[in-house]
């Protein structure tokens, strides 16, 4: 809009001019009589013209203001759009941030609940033993804690946790894929399907277990001989097939028995029978988690050590029966918990932490965790002749002892228990994370242990012992798998393909128990001219990975162990009472 071009303003100005012309015409027509009338006219005309000029200026100013107003309105509209956009983005970021923080808070709350109150910090123990602390020291501690909190990054911790969770899922998926491969290439199942007998019926279950026990005994003898000669033992499935076909001269009968045995194992699998499922996993049949070759060899060895313990079990008061005999066969027989503790301490002498986990998994379902831990602790005190009163007094002066002090002392005494087990054992006598020495003395009463340690519920069967080993192995495999995957895949992402030298150096850096020549072979199996990927390296390493705790070459001499058990039977045979139905007094405690 131009200056003075407003339609309303133009019409008004034109009307004023027309009126002036009309007045001028009338004055000339009337031939005015006096000079004063003309002077008045000219004054009025001048005033009107001045007013017109003023009106034009106002119109210009009005137009300028209107222009500025329109421009400001346009800018304001643009700013409003920008504000709305920023609000939307801020709202989205706030929402994402809120969700992220909420998830992080849930993670932190879950972690706090898992740790329980018994995991007290080092500062708590120090503060409990110091009666007076200066204000300056308190301020220093508070400042240090504040700085740690301020410099910590919840987001980075959250990212690390999410990355680990993702890695665990990847490792488990890769493990499931490898497990399926073991099931697909199973020679035992393929052999039984070469001549399938549609009417093959399962064998008598009692006979099935006896046959499998004898098979494992013979396999142990062969493995022991091959290990002594520096040879690698055969697969259990291959050994079974050879034994069956060597047993029957008629090939048709051999195939028939093989089909019947496979049908028996399948029947036990469908029945969810614990010992039967374990054998299915050993033979890589039916179960989704077959046991890998190296662990099968280890279990074959460990099983025979358990066999030696069975002779130490006291004779039952009541005469045996067919039903009782079948029940014993169906889980491999049983041994006293005190003897199983001795065996586990021997097998895992070089790795007590793993041994404690295996011992924890052996717990019978009828025994609470606290009572189970109490049995193990009392067994340690009794077998090593530790004076309970002296041990309790060594915890420190005063009548009250912090939980953390008791737990630490037990672990230093080399009792093979986990912190969770200790917490469950002491839960009944704790008050504000501490216990009185008198309550602790009543809890650790060796007399009650002696009276009840042969009770039926403290018998460990062979199936539980072997399954405990498998369970702990699987847990350690997952932990190690996550560690290796993150190491090798990260190297792949940062440095690209791995050369042979990089691969070998990485394995040595990770302290893997694989000989140098095996590492070279593992690399060359899958390498291209450029190298191998981190994921390929990870898969190759897992093929040969042997945990020190489950290494057959680290096992104690079986002959020495067999001699020790026979000697132990002679020494304590007269001292041990027979198994009775007396309840173990410890079970009456609130644990």
Q: How many CB atoms lie within 10 A of CB 3?
A: 13
pLDDT at 63: 66
pLDDT at 220: 93
- Does the pLDDT value for residue 244 go beyond 70? yes
Each residue of 216-228: pLDDT tens digit? Answer: 999 999 998 888 8
- Mean pLDDT score, 367-374: 90
d(CA 450, CA 294): 39
Contact 355, 347 (CB under 8 A): yes
Q: How many CB atoms lie within 10 A of CB 275?
A: 21
pLDDT at 239: 93
d(CA 233, CA 253): 27
* DSSP-assigned letters across all residues of 311-332: TTSPPBSSPP-HHHHHHHHHHT
pLDDT at 176: 76
- Does the pLDDT value for residue 88 go beyond 70? no
- Mean pLDDT score, 332-347: 89
**What is the torsional sign of CA 16, 19, 24, 30?**
negative
pLDDT at 20: 62
Each residue of 456-481: pLDDT tens digit? Answer: 888 899 999 999 999 999 888 888 88
| Per-residue confidence band for 208, with pLDDT thresholds at 50, 70 and 90 | very high
Each residue of 271-319: pLDDT tens digit? Answer: 999 999 999 999 999 888 899 888 999 999 999 989 888 767 665 544 4
Each residue of 521-574: pLDDT tens digit? Answer: 888 888 888 888 888 888 888 777 666 678 776 677 766 666 566 655 554 444
- Mean pLDDT score, 19-33: 58
Each residue of 36-63: pLDDT tens digit? Answer: 555 665 666 666 656 656 666 666 666 6
pLDDT above 70 coverage of the chain, percent: 61
| Per-residue confidence band for 123, with pLDDT thresholds at 50, 70 and 90 | very low
- Does the pLDDT value for residue 586 go beyond 60? no
d(CA 275, CA 208): 11
- Mean pLDDT score, 422-447: 86
For the chain, the domains span 7-104, 168-291, 474-572
Least-confidence region, from 48-62, 171-185, 419-433, 498-512: 48-62
Contact 462, 303 (CB under 8 A): yes
- Mean pLDDT score, 26-44: 56
β-strands 334-336, 400-402: how paired? unpaired
Backbone angles phi, psi at 381, to 5 degrees: -65, -40
Q: Which residue has the higher pLDDT, 172 or 158?
A: 172
| Per-residue confidence band for 185, with pLDDT thresholds at 50, 70 and 90 | confident
d(CA 119, CA 273): 38
pLDDT at 42: 61
Helical spans, DSSP H, in 7-34:
7-30
**CB burial readout 465-487, b (16+ within 10 A) else e:** bbbbbbebbeebbeebbbebbbb
pLDDT at 469: 94
- Mean pLDDT score, 492-520: 78
CA angle 379, 382, 388 (to 5 degrees): 105
- Mean pLDDT score, 398-424: 87
d(CA 404, CA 236): 47
- Mean pLDDT score, 96-101: 50
- Does the pLDDT value for residue 129 go beyond 50? no
| Per-residue confidence band for 427, with pLDDT thresholds at 50, 70 and 90 | confident
pLDDT at 43: 61
- Mean pLDDT score, 163-170: 75
Please give the mean pLDDT across all residues of the chain.
Answer: 74
Contact 474, 289 (CB under 8 A): yes
């Amino acid at each position: 809009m131009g200056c003075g071009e407003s339609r309303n303003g133009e019409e008004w100005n034109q009307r004023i001019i027309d009126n002036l012309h009309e007045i001028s015409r009338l004055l000339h027509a009337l031939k005015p009589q006096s000079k004063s009338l003309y002077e008045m006219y000219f004054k009025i005309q001048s005033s009107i013209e001045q007013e017109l000029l003023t009106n034009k200026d106002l119109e210009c100013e009005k137009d300028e203001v209107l222009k500025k107003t329109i421009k400001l309105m346009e800018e304001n509209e643009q700013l409003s759009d920008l504000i709305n956009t920023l609000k939307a983005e801020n709202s989205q970021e706030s929402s994402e941030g809120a969700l992220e923080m909420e998830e992080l808070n849930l993670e932190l709350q879950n972690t706090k609940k898992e740790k329980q109150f018994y995991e007290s910090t080092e500062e708590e123990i120090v503060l409990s033993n110091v009666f007076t602390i200066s204000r300056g020291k308190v301020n220093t501690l508070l400042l240090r804690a504040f700085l740690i909190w301020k410099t910590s990054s919840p987001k980075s911790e959250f990212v690390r946790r999410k990355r680990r969770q993702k890695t665990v899922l990847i490792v488990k998926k890769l493990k499931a894929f490898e497990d399926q491969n073991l099931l697909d290439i199973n020679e035992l199942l393929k052999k039984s399907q070469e001549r399938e007998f549609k009417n093959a019926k399962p064998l008598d279950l009692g006979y099935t277990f006896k046959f499998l026990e004898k098979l494992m005994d013979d396999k142990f003898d062969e493995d022991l001989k091959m290990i002594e000669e520096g040879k690698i033992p055969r697969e259990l499935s291959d050994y079974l097939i050879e034994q069956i076909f060597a047993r029957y001269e008629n090939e048709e009968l051999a195939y028939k028995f093989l089909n019947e045995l496979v049908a028996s194992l399948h029947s036990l699998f469908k029945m969810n029978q614990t010992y039967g499922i374990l054998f299915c996993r050993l033979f890589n049949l039916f179960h989704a988690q077959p046991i890998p070759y190296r662990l099968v060899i280890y279990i074959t060895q460990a099983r025979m050590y358990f066999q030696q313990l069975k002779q130490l079990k006291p004779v039952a008061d009541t005469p045996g029966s067919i039903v009782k005999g079948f029940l014993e066969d169906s889980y491999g027989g049983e041994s006293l918990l005190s003897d199983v503790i001795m065996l586990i301490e021997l097998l895992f002498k070089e790795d007590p932490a793993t041994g404690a986990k295996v011992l924890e998994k052996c717990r019978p379902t009828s025994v609470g965790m606290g009572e189970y831990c109490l049995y193990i602790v009392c067994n340690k005190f009794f077998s090593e002749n530790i004076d309970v009163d002296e041990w309790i007094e060594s915890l420190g002066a005063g009548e009250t002892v912090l939980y953390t002090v008791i737990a630490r002392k037990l672990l230093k005494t080399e009792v093979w228990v986990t912190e969770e087990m200790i917490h469950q054992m002491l839960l009944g006598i704790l008050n504000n994370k501490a216990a009185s020495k008198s309550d602790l003395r009543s809890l650790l009463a060796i007399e009650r242990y002696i009276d009840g340690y042969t009770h039926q519920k403290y018998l460990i069967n062979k199936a539980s012992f072997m399954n405990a080993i498998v369970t702990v192995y699987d847990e350690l495999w997952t932990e190690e798998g996550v560690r290796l995957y993150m190491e090798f895949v990260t190297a792949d992402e940062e440095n690209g393909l791995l050369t042979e030298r990089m691969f070998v150096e990485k394995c040595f850096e990770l302290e893997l128990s694989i000989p140098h020549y095996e590492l070279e072979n593992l690399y060359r199996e899958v390498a291209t001219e450029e190298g191998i990927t981190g994921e390929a390296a990870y898969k190759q390493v897992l093929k040969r990975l042997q945990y020190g705790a489950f290494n057959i070459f680290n096992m104690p001499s079986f002959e020495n162990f067999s001699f020790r058990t026979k000697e132990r039977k002679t020494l304590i045979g007269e001292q041990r009472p027979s198994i009775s139905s007396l309840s173990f007094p410890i079970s009456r405690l609130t644990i």
